[in-house]
Amino acid sequence: MSEIYKDPSCSPQQRTKDLLSRMTIEEKIGQMCQIDGHLDPEMWIRERNIGSFLHVIDDEAVRLQKIASEETRLGIPLIFGIDAIHGHAFYSGATVFPSQLGMSSSWNPDLIEEIGRITAKEVSLTGLHWTFSPVLCLARDARWGRVDETFGEDPYLSGVLGSAIVKGYQGTDISDPYSIIACAKHFVAYGETQGGRDSSECDVSARKLKTIFLPPFKAVSDAGCLSFMMAYHSIDGTPCSANEWLIKDILKKEWGFDGIVITDWDNAGNLYRRQKVSPTLKDGCKTSVLAGNDMIMSTPEFYENACELVREGVIKEELIDEACGRILLMKFRLGLFDHKRYPQTGNARMSIGCEDHKKASYESALESIVLLKNQNNTLPLTDNIKKIAVIGPNADDVQALLGDWSFGPRRHPERPTLEYNSNYDITSITTILEGIKKRAGCDIEVLYEKGCDTIDPDIQNINKAVETANKADAVIAVVGDTIVLNGEFRDRANLDLTGSQQKLLEALKSTGKPLTAVLLNGKPLTVPWIKENVDAILEAWNPGMEGGNAVASILFGDFNPCAKLSISFPVAVGQQPVFYNQYPGWHTDKYIDMPVEPLFSFGFGLSYTTFEYSNLSLSKTKLTQTDTLTVSVDVKNTGNLKGTEIVQAYVNDMCSSVTTPIKELKAFGRITLDPGETKTVNLEIPVSSLALIDRNLMSVVEPGEFEIMVGSSSMDKDLLKTIFEVFIEK
Ligand code: BGC
């Protein structure tokens, strides 16, 4: 019989069918396994025909790929996966971009697509094919440890930016050796778990899932995302990885998703071990397959158990064929059987961390830093400033720039392989202090004092910091949080500044010097004192390897900031949730001891210039359900500097069969204007995007009036408003 699966002229589907017909049940189950590549990988390849490893890289990936492709019975190549979620950040020398939360503040899909493209190139050059990104969980409770990994709180923005990065990762053709598989995770509503506690129970209704949490995932599925990762938590009692409705009915049937569904780390085992919905580990393995997972991450026991379950007739071979078939199809689509995609050496490898990629990282940092306050035009720093004091624990800290999922201290109590990589080359990373020094040159003196630690209140030298501040014309205080306060297992009950940072700021304020706070943090912090008391605030998130240069450019006015928040800041932790798209309440929606407005609202962000909105107009005021509305608004640059504005359009369904959010982002655009210049911005909103999920869980656009609100942030005071009507065509 001719070996169709080896014939590149046959379609991936024909080749998959042929290969499946030659495989034993054990070989098929082996393909469904993904294991940490440090656990006896050769045994897994030679004896179990494993399908995939995670967290191996470079020479080791080549070695293992050679064994799988050249020394096994059928020569099925491996897929290698890695968490390259803001650049290939575990790889020394690679380009590290701002955290996903940081990049989302750019509201710039083109930029984010480019980040995806560059990451794909660097990942593929080290022999890997799959990144576990993007995260499409919504960050609606800042206590949650993984806020920094998200695109913020809004379903629409997350869907648009998620689709952009997927396009970048996967390119136009997944068989291109520089394209890698994207993975939408964590499916679904993982950020919504109780009290922001990572992977606890999440109680959302099917209607809310369909209204708020599924849409960003649907968007990336429509954009062609080739893999989905299930979440850890359970929804209304059912762990996501055991949720057949979610995986089979919604994802695979309703959305027509034909890629791979992978569990998260040991989901299968934890159905038994922690979530206790399975009486045995074997039952957990069975449930995972029946629910529709195709690949099982890091449950090594899955192999033996699944083999037994098929032999006993508990799992039908067709189910294994379906899962294994999807994995093989992916390998054919990737071209793995034909050109193996071995990492390239020589010149091509020079692209990793090259100047062009670093420039893209710099540009994305510039666009992700949000100017939150600028009293009396404190920024940009003027020519009169000859001495700058840079103070604070994050001023000269590499890890605070790079953030989570990059090299760093052991971040996962159960995952020794992600430990601190002491060989990581940090020389190409520019801290804030270094960036300011470089930009200041010889004419401006830069003084530095750390002042205190981010965590330990006893490690401080505030007097020395004040002495240094007193010698300067302007003070830049670089504070925030640190890696050990973010990530899995790292939820916070308190979002105030830690250590002695608050004391440090108060002492700096007492010097009377112009005080700018640069915040380097993974998530919104509760900093009302800062808002009230410092002169200027830059929210820099974890801005990546070029963060220091980007912050310096903004401080000195080489770049005019244009980023907008993709997440709201609470005034205090108890004010949460403060996301903007709240449902209309009955009793005023507020606490008696807390303002109703967040500290900083979704969509907010200042510029060194000012913009004025006028002439809101609509292409039509009466539309049918199949129409597209064009919203136009004039934006004028009323300041003295060229600047870019992100124009936002929100909609409210004014009366509907179910309650709907008071406003929902439906479109946005950007415009760059010279001083005095006015331009019209047109935004398109298909009426179909105004659908709600009704009481029968059906998606419908209900006829009636809608309010459209256009402006510079989600705050009412920043929005022009008008009404249009949707009617049913007879
Ligand atoms: C995380 C995932 C990640 C996986 C592999 C899990 O603990 O939840 O986001 O992709 O580990 O590293």
**80 CA → ligand 1 middle, Å:** 14
Nearest atom in ligand 1 to the alpha carbon of residue 418 is 12
Distant-in-sequence, close-in-space partners of 441: CB < 8 Å, separation ≥ 6: none
- Please report which residue ranges of 223-277 form alpha helices under DSSP H: 244, 267-273
Predicted local distance difference test score (pLDDT) of residue 428: 87
Residue 348 pLDDT greater than 80, yes or no: no
Give the closest residue to 662 by CA, choosing from 653, 670, 671. 653
- Which tokens go with 476? 């830049």
Question: Has residue 408 got a pLDDT over 90?
Answer: no
Work out the number of other CB atoms within 10 angstroms of the CB of residue 464: 13
pTM, full prediction: 0.97
Query: Ligand 1: which of 83, 100, 133, 186 to mutate, most ligand atoms within 8 Å of CB?
Result: 83
* Mean pLDDT, residues 387-412: 87
Ligand 1 centroid–CA 617 distance in Å is 46
Q: What is the DSSP string of 584-612?
A: P-SSTT--TTS-SS-SB-TT--B-SS-EE
638/269 Cα distance (integer angstroms)? 60
Other beta carbons less than 10 A from residue 379's beta carbon: 25
The residues facing 678 across adjacent strands are: 636
The number of the ligand 1 atom at minimal distance from the alpha carbon of 412 is: 7
* Sign, CA torsion 691/693/694/698: positive
Q: Note the pLDDT tens digit of each residue in 223-280.
A: 999 999 999 999 999 999 999 999 999 999 999 999 999 999 999 999 999 999 999 9
List alpha helices for 209-347, DSSP H.
Answer: 214-222, 244, 267-273, 281-291, 302-311, 317-334, 336-339
Å from CA of 366 to ligand 1 middle: 28
Residue 32 CA to ligand 1 centre (angstroms): 17
Nearest-atom index, ligand 1, CA of 232: 8
Q: In what order do the strands lie in the sheet with 643-653?
A: 622-623, 719-726, 704-711, 643-653, 664-673
Let me know: does 80 contact 62? Beta carbons within 8 Å.
no
Q: Does residue 112 have a pLDDT over 90?
A: yes
**Ligand 1: residue whose CA is nearest its atom 12:** 83
**Residues of the chain above pLDDT 70, percent:** 97
Average pLDDT over residues 653-661: 97
Q: Does the pLDDT of residue 163 top 60, yes or no?
A: yes
Residue in 53, 61, 114, 126 with CA at minimum distance from that of residue 88: 126
Given pLDDT bands bounded at 50, 70 and 90, which one contains residue 105? Answer: very high
Ligand 1 atom at shortest distance from the alpha carbon of 55: 12
Could you say which DSSP state residue 432 is in? H
Q: Give the sign of the dihedral formed by CA 311, CA 314, CA 315, CA 317.
A: positive
Please check whether residue 658 is in contact with residue 696, taking contact to mean a CB–CB distance below 8 angstroms: no
The band of 1, judged by pLDDT with boundaries at 50, 70 and 90, is low
- Catalytic-labelled residue, pool 36, 264, 491, 535: 264
Mean pLDDT of 295-315: 98
Per DSSP bridges, beta strands 130-131 and 643-653 are: unpaired
Distance CA(364)–CA(100), nearest Å, equals 11
Q: For 409-463, what is each residue's pLDDT tens digit?
A: 545 556 555 455 667 788 889 999 999 999 999 999 999 999 999 999 999 999 9
The first and second tokens of residue 318, run together, are 């067709």
Q: Alpha-carbon torsion 380, 385, 386, 388, what sign?
A: negative
- Of 132, 144, 263, 406, the one to substitute when testing ligand 1's pocket (max ligand atoms within 8 A of C-beta) is 132
- Scan for tokens 């995932």, then name that residue: 217
Q: With the C-alpha atoms ordered 13, 15, 16, 20, is the resulting torsion angle positive or negative?
A: positive
pLDDT reported for residue 413: 55
Do the strands 704-711 and 719-726 form a parallel or antiparallel pair, or are they unpaired? antiparallel
pLDDT of amino acid 713: 98
Ligand 1: list residues with CB < 6 Å. 54, 83, 132, 185, 264-265, 488
* Whole-number Å distance between alpha carbons of 76 and 330: 12
Q: Of how many residues is the chain composed?
A: 730
Measure 199 CA to ligand 1 centroid, in angstroms.
12
Among residues 58, 83, 87, the alpha carbon closest in space to that of 428 is found at 87
- The stretch 612-619 carries a mean pLDDT of 98
- CA gap 505, 479 in Å, rounded: 9
CA of 265 to the centre of ligand 1 (A): 6
Nearest CA to ligand 1 atom 8: 264
DSSP H helical ranges for 54-184: 58-71, 100-104, 109-125, 155-170
State how far the Cα of 318 lies from the Cα of 110, in Å rounded to an integer: 42
Q: What is the pLDDT of residue 343?
A: 79
Pocket test of ligand 1: the residue of 38, 85, 131, 265 to mutate, having most ligand atoms within 8 Å of its CB, is 265
Rounded to whole angstroms, the Cα distance separating 544 from 552 reads: 14
Q: How many angstroms from the chain centroid is the CA of residue 181?
A: 16
The two tokens of residue 267 are 């989901």
Please give the Cα distance from 361 to 115 (Å, whole number): 8
Q: Which of 64, 67, 69, 66 is nearest to 53 (CA)?
A: 64
CA 149 to ligand 1 center in whole angstroms: 11
- For residues 489 and 412, the answer to whether their CB atoms sit within 8 Å is yes
Strand 692-693 relative to strand 370-374, pairing: unpaired
| Confidence at 298, pLDDT banded by 50, 70, 90 | very high
CA-CA distance, 132 to 187, in Å (whole number)?
A: 12
Asked if residue 198 lies in contact with residue 242, where contact means CB atoms within 8 angstroms, the answer is no
> Mean pLDDT over all residues of the chain?
95
What average pLDDT does the segment 642-670 reach? 97
8 Å CB contact between 45 and 77: no
Write the residue with the smallest CA distance to atom 7 of ligand 1: 265
CB atoms within 10 A of CB 589: 11
C-alpha triplet 326, 328, 332: angle, nearest 5° = 115
**Shortest-distance Cα residue to atom 11 of ligand 1:** 265
CA distance 84 to 406: 8
Atom 10 of ligand 1, residue of closest alpha carbon: 132
What is the per-residue DSSP string for 93-126?
TS-BPPPHHHHHTT--HHHHHHHHHHHHHHHHHT
Mean pLDDT for the stretch of residues 554-570: 98
Query: Which ligand 1 atom minimizes the distance to the CA of 85?
Result: 10
Q: What pLDDT was estimated at residue 421?
A: 63
Q: Is the pLDDT of residue 588 over 70?
A: no
Mean pLDDT value across residues 518-522: 98
Q: For residue 253, what are the contacts with CB-CB under 8 A and spacing of at least 6?
A: none
- Ligand 1 geometric centre to CA of 209 (Å): 22
Q: How far apart are CA 189 and CA 185, in angstroms?
A: 10
Tell me how far the alpha carbon of residue 121 lies from the centroid of ligand 1, in angstroms.
21
Query: Given pLDDT bands bounded at 50, 70 and 90, which one contains residue 330?
Result: very high
The residue-averaged pLDDT of 310-323 equals: 98
* Ligand 1 pocket test, candidate residues 82, 99, 264, 486, most atoms within 8 A of CB: 264
Output the pLDDT for position 587. Answer: 72
The CA distance from 383 to 590, in Å, is 45
Decide if 627 is catalytic: no
Mean per-residue pLDDT for 1-8? Answer: 89
Query: Closest residue (by CA) to atom 2 of ligand 1?
Result: 264
Q: What is the pLDDT of residues 671-719, one digit of tens each?
A: 999 999 999 999 999 999 999 999 999 999 999 999 999 999 999 999 9
